[in-house]
Amino acid sequence: MTRIALTLALLFAATASAVEPGAPAPGFHLPTFDSGPPVSLADFRGKVVLVDFWASWCSPCRQSLPLYGKLRDNYAAADFAIIAIGLDEDVADGKAFLAEHPIAYTTLQNPQGDIAKAFDLKGMPSSYLVDRDGIVRARHVGFTPADIDVLKKEIDGLVAKHAP
Amino acid sequence: MRRSLLLLIAAAALAGCAATPVQPWQRGRLARWDMRWDPDPLRAATDAHTYFSKEGTTGAIGAAGGGCGCN
- pLDDT score of A162 more than 70: no
Number of H helices, E strands in chain B: 2, 0
pLDDT interval class at A4 (50, 70, 90): low
Say if B71 falls within a structural domain. Answer: no
CATH number of the domain where residue A50 is located: 3.40.30.10
- Percentage above 90 pLDDT, chain A: 82
Say if A154 falls within a structural domain. Answer: yes
| Total count of domains within chain A | 1
Note the pLDDT tens digit of each residue in A17-68. 678 899 999 999 999 998 889 999 999 999 999 999 999 999 999 999 999 9
Beta bridge partners of A51: A83, A128
| Total count of domains within chain B | 1
Say if A2 falls within a structural domain. Answer: no
DSSP string, A17-53: ----TTSBPPP-EE-BTTS---EEGGGGTTSEEEEEE
Structural domain range at position B17: 2-55
Task: Please check whether residue A84 touches B, CB under 8 A.
Answer: no
Task: Please check whether residue A63 touches B, CB under 8 A.
Answer: no
Q: Is A6 helix (H, G, I), strand (E, B) or coil?
A: helix
Say if B20 falls within a structural domain. Answer: yes
Note the pLDDT tens digit of each residue in B3-59. 888 888 887 777 666 556 889 999 998 888 888 887 788 888 888 888 888 877 666
Residue A51 buriedness (CB in 10 A; 0-12 / 13-18 / 19+): buried
Residue A10: its pLDDT value, please? 46
CA A86 distance to own-chain centroid: 10
Say if B42 falls within a structural domain. Answer: yes
Say if A140 falls within a structural domain. Answer: yes
Q: Are A82 and A44 in contact (CB under 8 A)?
A: no
Cα distance from A161 to chain B (closest Cα, Å)?
Answer: 31
Q: Which of A3, A124, A143 sits opposite B68 (nearest CB)?
A: A124
Average pLDDT over residues A140-146: 95
Structural domain range at position A70: 23-159
Closest CA to A120 of A26, A39, A3, A45: A26
